[in-house]
Amino acid sequence: MERVERLWATPGTSLARLVAQRGCRAGDPGLPRQGSRLDSARTMTAGEGGGIAPALVDLDERRLVAACLEGTREAFDVIVERHRRAVYQLCYRFVGNHEDASDLAQEVFLRAYRGLKNYKGDASLGTWLYRIGVNACLNRLSARPPVAEPLETSESVVDRDLDPASRLLQQERSKRVRAAIARLPKRQRTTLILRVYHELSHQEIAFIVGSSVGAVKANFFHALQNLKRILAQDPV
Amino acid sequence: MAATFDAGKGDWMSRHLSDDVLLEMAEAGKSHPHLTQCSRCRQQMEDARDALGLAREAEVPEPSPLFWDHLSSRVHNAVEREVLEGRQGVWTRFARVAWRPAVAVALGVILVVSVVWRMGPALRQPETRSASARQADVQPTANGSSATDSWAGADLLAPLSDPAWVVIAEVTWGLEIESAAEAGIVMQPGASDRAIAQLSPSERQELVRLLQSDLDGPSL
């Protein structure tokens, strides 16, 4: 264990090199693969001398990114697993249907993989992925307007404890609010989505949209005012 | 936009709250003394708070639990394809950059060799002949004839490179002069003398040698 910790503490040491020192590589046929790819990531733990290297799933973002850049693609699977729900939900907030949202989520991760070498760590990996996601979504919206999903195919997490009538009412309300949000100007909409549904700080949103914190606050406040106005025209 | 609240001047009750302050109160659910006096700020804050509450209730439909692994697989496969295409891209770029000029050069070399090969005799002959002829004119060979004879022979054989002459040679091969005479192919009077007069000295010498050897041979 001490040896492994020494390796991690040594500058330039990475998971890929550590695995290479074991005499195997991630993804080699000789490496046990059970079930999902994350299982294989979890098996990459044994080190020589009785030490146990940190499993991929236990690595922090910086080390995961380093492992990806060293060629350990299972590390990127871990990143995807950690952020897939947030990225999908972000995309859904913009496009309003499952199919486009899942396509966009895939695109976001693919863009992230391509640009991983440019990730400097000045923001969290999640915030960086949000920035990629927002750009991808806005580009998609500019290319073609989204098609909202029919109400009957939607089911919310919070719906499940409600009786059918209340559930239907809530679904209808959610749909109207999402439609109202979709009518907001892009910057206001982006700010509202990131702030309300992803609970990002004003600073993080400023990083994502590339503006000042003051501008983000003003956009958010105007977004709420406009949302109220739109919903007043079409009462929930 | 509402006027900025300036608490330092002590007139906060008469000035509208800034967006920042209203937003902070709407998000945190706090209150402010100014709101009890200012209906405009109070209305703005309540609108923002209502809109925030409605927005928070609008959940995203939850996909099937199986969807998440499906999404991971899609991304994994897309990344695999990306890596594969990246490798192929490197090869393709290499091929485009390195092989295209190589192929062009190879084709050029083949073309030049082909042209030289076809035109080679024509290109080589005059130069070689002029060099040889200069020597042949001054250096007779051991049997008394000069090297020019061989060139004269070559000139005599040159028409054989013409396909038409090749056909005629094949047709007339083995044809006796008597048979030609019987076939009506006869020389005009004086044609032999004209032909001999057109021969070069070396050709005449060769003709003499052939006639002599013919006369020395066994008689029929």
In the predicted model, what is the mean pLDDT of residues A121-142? 94
Reply yes or no on whether the pLDDT at A8 is more than 80: no
Amino acid found at B62: E
Domain housing B106: 74-119
Residue B42 token pair: 């109070």
Whether B146 and B201 map to the same domain: the answer is: yes
| DSSP letter, residue A124 | -
Residue A163 token pair: 């009786």
B203 contacts B210 by C-beta, under 8 angstroms:
no
Q: Let me know if residue B22 belongs to a domain.
A: yes
User: Of the given ranges (A81-85, A195-199, B79-83, B110-114), which has the lowest mean pLDDT?
Assistant: B110-114
Residue B38 token pair: 């200012």
Show residues of chain B in contact with A225, CB under 8 Å.
Answer: 44, 47-48, 51
Q: Let me know if residue B63 belongs to a domain.
A: no
- Between the alpha carbon of residue A154 and those of residues A89, A96, A234, B13, B176, the distances in Å are 13, 10, 21, 48, 109
Whether B152 and B195 map to the same domain: the answer is: yes
Q: Let me know if residue B34 belongs to a domain.
A: yes
Of the candidates B1, B26, B75, the beta carbon closest to that of A224 is on B26
State whether residue A126 is helix, strand or coil.
Answer: helix
Whether B36 and B87 map to the same domain: the answer is: no
Domain count, chain B: 3
Whether B53 and B105 map to the same domain: the answer is: no
Of B11 and B174, more confident: B174
- Tell me the count of A-B CB pairs closer than 8 A: 120
pLDDT tens, residue by residue, A201-219 = 999 999 999 999 999 999 9
Q: What distance in Å separates the CA atoms of residue A102 and residue B70, rounded to the nearest whole number?
A: 10
Q: What distance in Å separates the CA atoms of residue B128 and residue B16, rounded to the nearest whole number?
A: 109
- Between the alpha carbon of residue A211 and those of residues A15, A181, A215, B213, B214, the distances in Å are 36, 21, 6, 113, 113
Residue B179 token pair: 């048979």
User: pLDDT band at B210, cuts 50/70/90?
Assistant: confident
User: pLDDT band at A236, cuts 50/70/90?
Assistant: low
Q: What distance in Å separates the CA atoms of residue A134 and residue A3, rounded to the nearest whole number?
A: 43
Contact yes or no for A173 and B58 at CB 8 A: yes
A40 contacts A32 by C-beta, under 8 angstroms:
yes
State whether residue A149 is helix, strand or coil.
Answer: coil
Show residues of chain B in contact with A218, CB under 8 Å.
Answer: 1, 19
Contact yes or no for B71 and A106 at CB 8 A: yes
Q: Let me know if residue B160 belongs to a domain.
A: yes
User: Of the given ranges (A61-65, A155-159, B119-123), which has the lowest mean pLDDT?
Assistant: A155-159
Q: What distance in Å separates the CA atoms of residue A177 and residue A173, rounded to the nearest whole number?
A: 6
Whether B13 and B38 map to the same domain: the answer is: yes
Q: Let me know if residue B175 belongs to a domain.
A: yes
Please state, for a pLDDT cut of 70, what percent of chain B lies above it.
58
pLDDT tens, residue by residue, B191-203 = 778 888 888 888 8
Query: What are the start-end ranges of the H helices in B137-200?
Result: 148-157, 163-172, 177-182, 191-198
Q: What are phi and psi of A232, to 5 degrees?
A: -70, -30
Of A18 and B103, more confident: B103
Is A105's Cβ below 8 Å from some Cβ in B?
yes
Residue B98 token pair: 């390195």
A154 contacts A108 by C-beta, under 8 angstroms:
no
pTM of the complete model: 0.58
pLDDT at residue A4, rounded to an integer: 41
CA angle, residues A120, A126, A130, in degrees to nearest 5: 100
Amino acid found at A94: F
Whether B43 and B82 map to the same domain: the answer is: no
Contact yes or no for B23 and A221 at CB 8 A: yes
Of the candidates B20, B47, B59, the beta carbon closest to that of A157 is on B59
Reply yes or no on whether the pLDDT at B150 is more than 60: no
Q: Let me know if residue B169 belongs to a domain.
A: yes
Q: Let me know if residue B129 belongs to a domain.
A: no
- Between the alpha carbon of residue A163 and those of residues A156, A160, A166, B62, the distances in Å are 13, 8, 5, 18
Is A45's Cβ below 8 Å from some Cβ in B?
no
How confident is the prediction for chain A on average, in pLDDT?
78
Contact yes or no for B56 and A196 at CB 8 A: yes
Q: Which domains are present in chain A? A: 2-71 (no CATH), 161-236 (1.10.10.10)
pLDDT at residue B190, rounded to an integer: 77
Whether B91 and B38 map to the same domain: the answer is: no
Q: Let me know if residue B68 belongs to a domain.
A: no
Residues whose CB falls within 8 Å of the CB of residue B93, separated by 6 or more in sequence, listed in order: none
